[in-house]
Amino acid sequence: MEFKLIIKKINNTLTKEEEIIFNNWFNESKIHQDYFLKVKNNYQKNIDSVNKDAAWMAVNKKIVSKKKNNKWKYAIAASVALIISASYYYFSSTYNISKKNTTVAQQKIKIGTDKATLTLEDGSFVALEKGKTYNSENIQSNGEKLVYYSSKKETQPKIVYNYLTVPRGGQFFVELSDNTKVWLNSESQLKYPVTFIPGEPRKVELIYGEAYFDVSPSTEHKGAKFNVLTQEQEIEVLGTAFNVKAYRDETSIYTTLVEGKVSLIVGDEKQFLKPGQQSTFNSESNTIKLATVDTYNETSWKEGVFSFNNMPLKKIMKVLSRWYRIDVTFINNEVEHVKFNGVLRKDQQLEDILSVINSTTEINYTINEKTIIIK
């Protein structure tokens, strides 16, 4: 069940359908009932201190400014979610919840930022980060994004490749020469041609990590399809928006279709995805499973948001470890399966995020330099 339904229940704004969903969840176990009461008590204790009117004005401003963009609905969803998480964060940090269970390092752990390394065709490296610019014949970077331009030469372009590598604690945006837009998450690497050959398939490779693709339609490129290679899987695209997660330390590749149409090719098997579906390819069993998912939860990272929807603590800490460049150790393995619901900003200090999680799960943790120890 989504965390926002708990907030709506507290405010008596549930629809009839949502009331049924909430009641089913609430009556499932005493754990759910205790969880709800804890959130309700904390929320009612401090919600008056949150300037909700100002927050909603900010949301409305985003709606007006983004209506011309077909991605505006994601910005709105993120803004609404942030009101909930901001309210939630306020009472957890104001009352210093469970500080007796934590030991915070004197030096704060750094928040992730825009940064990457560009590897050129001759093997040389270019560091991309805020405050540094890079320009060449058909490449420009202001340190926060990288943009490629189509070659103006009349001769047939030669296929040469660049690599964009994003480290732990980083993220980066690149616009390819065909106007395809790619957001790369922490600990990711993308291989792509500097210029695509007109009419021929446009192929890139997500060597590892996570990327969100907004693909330029094939109709604008003489019908040329767009293909994304990921380890043992190939994604064939006509023009669409989708997310691919293929980390080296995970045995599964997750492909989530936001809009349009893609097909997955694994060996001789071909599987089509519909918008709102996610495929999970398990490299050990060589199988593909399809499921309907909330695409916002899968793609919110590129909007600067962590969306944890009933996610086990082990998976949450893996996400946080990549963004904050930390290591995580679980002393008690049972705690790995404790689940958390919440939407949090990626520009928050790690200590603040841990406090929010701690306020509902009551986990005990310590911070030893760049290692989080969960007991």
- Which residue type, as a one-letter code, is found at position 204? V
pLDDT on residue 44:
57
- Which residue type, as a one-letter code, is found at position 162? N
Task: Give, in words, the CATH class of 3-106+304-374.
Answer: alpha beta
Measuring CA to CA, how many Å separate 5 from each of 15, 139, 202, 305?
A: 10, 46, 43, 19
Question: 3-state secondary structure string, 274-321?
Answer: CCCEEEEEECCCCEEEEEECCHHHHHHHHHCEEEEEEEEHHHHHHHHH
pLDDT on residue 42:
65
Whether residue 128 contacts residue 116, with contact meaning beta carbons closer than 8 Å, is answered with yes
The span from the first CA to the last CA of the chain, in angstroms, equals 27
CA distance 301 to 184: 10
Which residues on neighbouring strands pair with residue 182, listed in sequence order?
Answer: 174, 213
pLDDT on residue 66:
40
Looking at CATH, the fold of the domain delimited by 113-297 is given as: Jelly Rolls (2.60.120)
Q: For each successive 10 residues of the chain (375 residues), what is the average pLDDT?
A: 76 81 84 80 50 40 41 39 41 36 57 96 93 91 93 71 97 96 97 91 96 93 92 88 94 94 87 93 88 93 91 94 95 89 90 86 84 90
Question: Tell me, what DSSP letter sits at residue 100?
Answer: G
Going by C-alpha positions, the residue among 264, 281, 284 that lies closest to residue 272 is 264
Phi, psi (deg, nearest 5) at residue 121 = -65, -25
CA distance 113 to 86: 21
Going by C-alpha positions, the residue among 77, 33, 154, 112 that lies closest to residue 321 is 112
pLDDT on residue 88:
43
Confidence (pTM): 0.73
- Per domain, the residue ranges of the chain are 3-106+304-374, 113-297
Going by C-alpha positions, the residue among 4, 25, 2 that lies closest to residue 13 is 4
Q: Give the residue ranges of DSSP H helices in 175-312.
A: 295-299
